[in-house]
Amino acid sequence: MSKPELKEDKMLEVQFVGDDDVLNHILDREGGAKLKKERAQLLVNAKKIIKKPEYDLEEDDQEVLKDQNYVEVLGQDIQGSLKNGSATDGGNKVYSFQNRKHSEKMAKLASELAKTPRKSVSFNLKNDPEIMINIPQCSKGHPASDKVQLKNNDKGEFLSTTPRGLRKRLMEDDEGVAQECEEDANEVILRPKSQAQNRVVSAPVCKETPSKKMKRDKTSDLVEEYFEAHSSSKVLTSDRTLQKLKRPKLDQQTLRNLLSKVAPSFSAELKQLNQQYEQLFHKWMLQLHLGFNIVLYGLGSKRDLLERFRTSMLQDSVHVVINGFFPGISVKSILNSITQEVLDHTGTFHSVLDQLDWITNKFKEDSSLELFLLIHNLDSQMLRGDKSQQIIGQLSSLQNIYLIASIDHLNAPLMWDHAKQSLYNWLWYETTTYSPYTEETSYENSLLVKQSGSLPLSSLTHVLRSLTPNARGIFRLLSKYQLDNQESPSYAGLSFQDFYQQCREAFLVNSDLTLRAQLTEFRDHKLIRTKKGADGVEYLLIPVDSGTLTDFLEKEEEES
């Protein structure tokens, strides 16, 4: 960045503006105010930066300070602020780009892993200082012992098994960096390209670069990050999939059992945290009664906490528990359960608004009515809509309806504009529990659990085993064809005529009647599906994902 700055003085205006535009474009994301500051700084400090590289550091610090300005204005720095995290981090980290510098590390690591035998895996890591440093698990407190251990174990193999490719790449990378340093003021414009090239060659950039590169100030980093984030260059990923693991998928029950065996770490501390929150129950009740509503936020499932609140405080009062994470939840169903079950109303309503009006009137008329609403995940997919929030907000604004809810999404507060916020009249409580979202995610499918909807491998083989060899051959033919064609997006299935032709050629059937009989049997076992194409031709399809199909074929191969 120092270079474009230098040029600024003597060069054309045009170039400067272009640079500026880029900045504009990037920095917009971080908010306009900051942009202005930074730009001003750039102009002022351009020369200083060149003179003394260390200045850079200072400036970064200042940057952080500036970010904090607003925060400080809000009194964030009040001493003894127990909760809300260490706000001293400033917005810088929380709101910044994701660090994209090492985006391919994982992929690269994976490919190395795949290539080398297991023993050298750990060693490989060691060899590449970059990876070693940047993998988070290697905390600075511990690596020393690990390293020693590893060295003792693997010293013999150290030299011999180093993948040559890796070393080479590192060297190339150095060259690349050198080249980059020679580039002129157009650097900013050219950077994406050079970055891309570098990246294709290899990932590590930062740590090994000469000090020159360190001179870049923050803006330059941002530019870089921007292009890295938006570059369309192909990312090197490993193509290994879960199916390739020679491990049967677990069903839901086993997975749950296994998970329950894993004791969470720091249970003592977690318990203490939870106790801390439980002491607030009385306060919550008080504040709910005084017209506030309570929203819980923070990492970890808050369901258990709310359940405890419910069982300890709400036993004697009417309350409704609403699982926002339930996929079928809707405002309508919430209102229905209030009208039908709480208020014992049997009639129906024209619209949700009518229903809301009715409830409002009911609660306003009878001041002795009291209702607690507990909503787990107020920010869930189904409830986060504007209308839903408006209605829930209106409910909660009633004098004798008390709402206590939890939110989890990072941007959940964006759901509420000022009007809604005043309806809700929130009091925020941070309850970081670190507990797993077991219940909340139970409606989602896990990759590790076999999907009940699709046909799993075991049943496939089971059915096939009971068939005649010919029938198996027919099925294999179809599955092979499907695998061959799976890449093409327009593949609709194998037409019956073609299939018949192929089967005849393989001496599997002698007439289309026998084939049809076979297909009927397949269809009865849900092994295939038929579709009528646009031209009226019947197409055959196996409703199984390609991974399972490949496995199946491999198994078949082994058996025969």
Partner 1 sequence: MATSSVSKGCFVFKPNFKKRKISVPIEDYFNKGKDESEDSKLRFETYHLIWQQMKSETQRLQEELNKNLFDSLIEFLQKSHSGFQKNSKDWGSQIKLREIPTAALVLGVNVTDHDLTFRSLTEALQSHVTPYVVSLQSKDCPDVKHFLQKLVSQLMDCCVDVESKEEESAQKKTHCSMDSLSSWYTNVTQKTDPKMPRKKRTSSQWQSPPVVLILKDMESFTTKVLQDFIIISSQHLHEFPLILIFGIATSPIIIHRLLPHAVSSLLCIELFQSLSCKEHLTTVLDKLLLTTQFPFKLSEKVLQILTNIFLYHDFSIQNFIKGLQLSLLEHFYSQPLSVLCCSLPEAKRRIHSLSDNQCENIRRLPSFRRYVEKQASEKQVALLTDERFLKEEAQSLLENLYVYHTNYFLVLRCLHQFTSSLPKYPLGRQIRELYCTCLEKNIWDSEEYASALQLLRMLAKDELMTILEKCFKVFKSSSEKQLGSTAKKIEELLAQFQSLDEAKEEEDTSGSHSKGLQKTDLYHLQKSLLEMKELRRTSKKQTKFEVLREKVVNFIDSLVREYLLPPETQPLHEAVYFSAAHTLREHLNAAPRVALHTALNNPYYYLKNEALKSEEGCIPNVAPDICIAYKLHLECSRLINLVDWSEFIRGTPTTAWLPSSAMSAPGIRTSEPRAAEKRNVRT
Contacting partner 1 within 433-472 (CB under 8 A):
434, 436-437, 439, 441-444, 446-448
Give CA 27 to chain center in angstroms.
24
Q: Binding of partner 1 at residue 277 (CB under 8 A)?
A: no
Contacts of 309 (CB under 8 A, 6+ apart): 278, 281, 284, 374, 404
Q: How many CA atoms lie within 13 A of 128 on its CB side?
A: 29
Q: How far is the CB of 275 from partner 1 (least distance, A)?
A: 13
Q: Pick from 290, 365, 487, 489 the residue near partner 1 by CB under 8 A.
A: 290
Q: Binding of partner 1 at residue 356 (CB under 8 A)?
A: no
Nearest alpha-carbon partner for 46 in 183, 215, 209, 213: 215
Q: Binding of partner 1 at residue 408 (CB under 8 A)?
A: yes
Tokens 């916020």 correspond to 421
Q: How far is the CB of 515 from partner 1 (least distance, A)?
A: 39
Q: How far is the CB of 247 from partner 1 (least distance, A)?
A: 7
Q: Please give the biggest Cα pair distance in the chain.
A: 88
Nearest alpha-carbon partner for 404 in 274, 312, 281, 272: 281
Crossing angle of the two packed helices 143-161 and 119-127, in degrees rounded to 10: 100
Q: Binding of partner 1 at residue 547 (CB under 8 A)?
A: no
Nearest alpha-carbon partner for 404 in 315, 297, 331, 327: 297
Q: How far is the CB of 181 from partner 1 (least distance, A)?
A: 26
Q: Binding of partner 1 at residue 551 (CB under 8 A)?
A: no
Q: Pick from 22, 23, 273, 405 the residue near partner 1 by CB under 8 A.
A: 273
Q: Pick from 69, 76, 194, 360 the residue near partner 1 by CB under 8 A.
A: 76
Q: Binding of partner 1 at residue 430 (CB under 8 A)?
A: yes
Closer CB to partner 1, residue 166 or residue 334?
A: 334
Q: Pick from 39, 66, 319, 555 the residue near partner 1 by CB under 8 A.
A: 319
Q: Where are the alpha helices (DSSP H) in 202-324?
A: 211-214, 218-230, 252-261, 267-278, 281-289, 303-313
Q: Pick from 50, 64, 196, 314 the residue near partner 1 by CB under 8 A.
A: 314
Closer CB to partner 1, residue 55 or residue 434?
A: 434
Asked if 209 and 177 touch (Cβ cutoff 8 Å), the reply is yes
Judged by CB under 8 A, the stretch of 46-54, 171-179, 190-198, 335-343 that binds partner 1 is 335-343
Closer CB to partner 1, residue 174 or residue 439?
A: 439
Q: Binding of partner 1 at residue 141 (CB under 8 A)?
A: yes
Tokens of 314: 């709400």
Task: Give, as ranges, the residues between 223 and 252 that touch partner 1 (CB under 8 A).
Answer: 235, 237-238, 240-242, 244-245, 247, 250
Judged by CB under 8 A, the stretch of 26-34, 193-201, 415-423, 507-515 that binds partner 1 is 415-423
Count of residues interacting with partner 1 (CB under 8 A): 140
Strand order in the sheet with 529-532: 494-495, 538-541, 529-532
Encode 405-416: b = buried (16+ Cβ within 10 Å), e = exposed: bbbbeeebeebb
Q: Pick from 9, 10, 51, 98 the residue near partner 1 by CB under 8 A.
A: 98
Residues 343 and 336: their CA atoms lie apart, in Å, by: 10
Q: Binding of partner 1 at residue 281 (CB under 8 A)?
A: yes
Q: Binding of partner 1 at residue 560 (CB under 8 A)?
A: no
Return the ∠ at Cα 212 (arms to 3 and 232), rounded to 5°: 70
Closer CB to partner 1, residue 100 or residue 472?
A: 100
Task: Give, as ranges, the residues between 525 and 544 that touch partner 1 (CB under 8 A).
Answer: none
Q: Binding of partner 1 at residue 419 (CB under 8 A)?
A: yes
Q: Binding of partner 1 at residue 477 (CB under 8 A)?
A: no
Q: Where are the alpha helices (DSSP H) in 447-510?
A: 457-465, 469-484, 496-505
Task: Give, as ranges, the residues between 362 and 401 that touch partner 1 (CB under 8 A).
Answer: 368, 370, 390
Q: Binding of partner 1 at residue 358 (CB under 8 A)?
A: no
Tell me the backbone φ, ψ of residue 321, rounded to 5 degrees: -100, 130
Residues 477 and 502: their CA atoms lie apart, in Å, by: 8
C-alpha distance across the termini of the chain, in Å:
65
Q: Pick from 24, 179, 186, 317 the residue near partner 1 by CB under 8 A.
A: 317
